[in-house]
Structure 1
Amino acid sequence: MKLAVLASAAAVIVATPAAAQEGPTFSGLSLAVLGGYDSVRLSDGVDNGSSDDFAYGVSLGYNADLGSAVVGVEAEVADSEVKESVTDQFVTGDELSLSAARDLYVGVRAGAKLAPNALIYAKAGYTNARLKVSYTDGVDSISDGDNLDGYRLGAGVEYSFGRFGIRGEYRFSDYGKLKFDDVDTGLSMQRHQVMVGLVGKF
């Protein structure tokens, strides 16, 4: 299902007929299919651990090309394959798993043109991530999750080729303290990502 959504978004980008945008431009509505590296880090203030895997998503944005600068807004829906499991935590043979799930983002970006078709930009906004926890002792299993509010900062480069474009960006997200059933775990969560995207402009 997740791959089908990405494939559909990519198909929309490729199938979109060339409208008025034949030259390099960053103005107007854009849809991007994203994929890349995702690293989730948990810390208790003394020790920390991280797990990394593949992340993917789609982004919808609107940009205003001001000539030498570009400003815009964007929203993103993403997911991740990051998962970490440990065994023998409480009893022999048990398993505790923590996995990153859907991630929502809305924010702004602003950049300067290095060339008519090259843009360097910074971004900032709000992010909400879903974190899932599951535990089994070999007989009984329980699972729970929490939606974490945080902020995201990032920077990237985008190249425009008429109605298409490609981008690469690094972003850092901080979700603060983790709570499950309103109980503070004492852990905080941060995320580092390097993403690339295929952009279609409408």
Structure 2
Amino acid sequence: MTMRWTAALSILALIGATPAAAQDHVARPFEGGSVTLIVGVDGANRFSDWSAGATYGGQIGYDWQRNGLVVGVEGELTGSSNRQCSVRYSTSGGNSSLCVTTGRDAYVGGRLGTPIGGATLLYGKAGYTNVEQTFAARQTTSGTVDGFRLGAGVEHHISDRTTLKAEYRYANYAGSYDRHQAVVGLGFRF
């Protein structure tokens, strides 16, 4: 008998809390967890030469909205089609080229923003990034490089739990090269 009453009271408490949670979401639309699918343009500057490709992947995050500010943490895993080949040295048989292919990019960082008009968020971001690269000349080797990322963006609610975002990001990897990305994302808040 006690178990039934406990279950019934728990269900009633959950039903009673649901409208409060919905009201809280309306008051703070950028608070809570999110998952975002990302696609965009990826430009890299290596050896004073530019190359471009596509970037694609996903992001997870959590935001807190208080007193006109949004503070959040996020993690991201993306891939890239960026590949760059340059003539770098001469051999007895002629010139040879070095090709660098960008692989996965792992990012963790934070963001700080301010809502405008209730459904739109302007934000800046900063964090740590680690990219994998493959070098091909006479032999193929691969490795990772650490760096930092800075960015700015805008996120807009297109429905109660769905957002669109546009973002510019700059990353520098241990002084060896830098990247510029322009991405768009489709996000789902929960």
Superposition TM-score tier, normalisation by shorter sequence: 0.7 to 0.9
Shift of 1:93: 7.6
Q: In proportion to residue count, which structure has more helix?
A: 2
1:57-80 Cα deviation digits (max 9, x unpaired): 100000012152111100000110
Correspondence for 2:104: 102
Rounded to whole Å, the distance in 2 between the matches of 1:162 and 1:111 is 19
- Which aligned pairs between 1:43-122 and structure 2 lie closer than 5 A? 43=47, 48-86=48-86, 89-90=89-90, 91-92=93-94, 94-122=96-124
1:130 corresponds in structure 2 to 132
CA apart distance, 1:145:
1.6
Equivalent pairs, count = 165
Within 1, Cα distance between the matches of 2:151 and 2:166? 11
TM-score, structure 2 length as denominator?
0.80
Q: State yes or no: 1:189 paired with 2:177.
A: yes
Match of 1:32 among 30, 36, 55: 36
For 2:187, the equivalent position in structure 1 comes to 199
Letter paired with 2:125:
K
User: 1:68 and 1:119 mapped to 2: Cα distance?
Assistant: 10
Of the three residues 148, 151, 155, the one matched with 1:151 is 148
Letter of the aligned partner of 2:65 in structure 1?
Answer: D
Identity value in percent: 35
User: Which residues of structure 1 form unaligned runs of 5+?
Assistant: 1-18, 137-141, 178-187
Task: Return the letter of the residue paired with 1:57.
Answer: G
Structure of larger gyration radius: 2
**Over residues 88-126 of structure 1, what are the superposed CA-to-partner deviations in whole Å (9 max), with x where a residue is unaligned?**
953348543111111010000010111100000000000
Structure 2 Cα separation of the partners of residues 57 and 98 of structure 1: 20
- After TM superposition, give the deviation of residue 87 of structure 1 in Å: 5.8
Using the size of structure 1 for normalisation, the TM-score is: 0.75
Structure-2 residue corresponding to 1:164? 162
Distance 1:50 1:144 in 2: 21
Residue 20 and residue 127 in structure 1: after superposition, are their counterparts in 2 closer, same or farther (change >3 A)? same
Q: Give deviations 1:26-52, integer Å, cap 9, x for gaps.
A: 111100000001001124xxxx11101
Structure 2 distance, partners of 1:95, 1:176, is 23
> 4+ residue runs of structure 1 moved beyond 2 angstroms?
19-24, 85-96
- Note the aligned Cα RMSD (angstroms): 2.1
Counterpart CA distance in 2 for 1:28 and 1:169 is: 20
**How far apart are the structure 1 equivalents of 2:144 and 2:84?**
18
Q: Secondary structure at the match of 1:98?
A: strand
Q: RCO higher in 1 or 2 (8 Å CA, sep ≥ 6)? A: 1
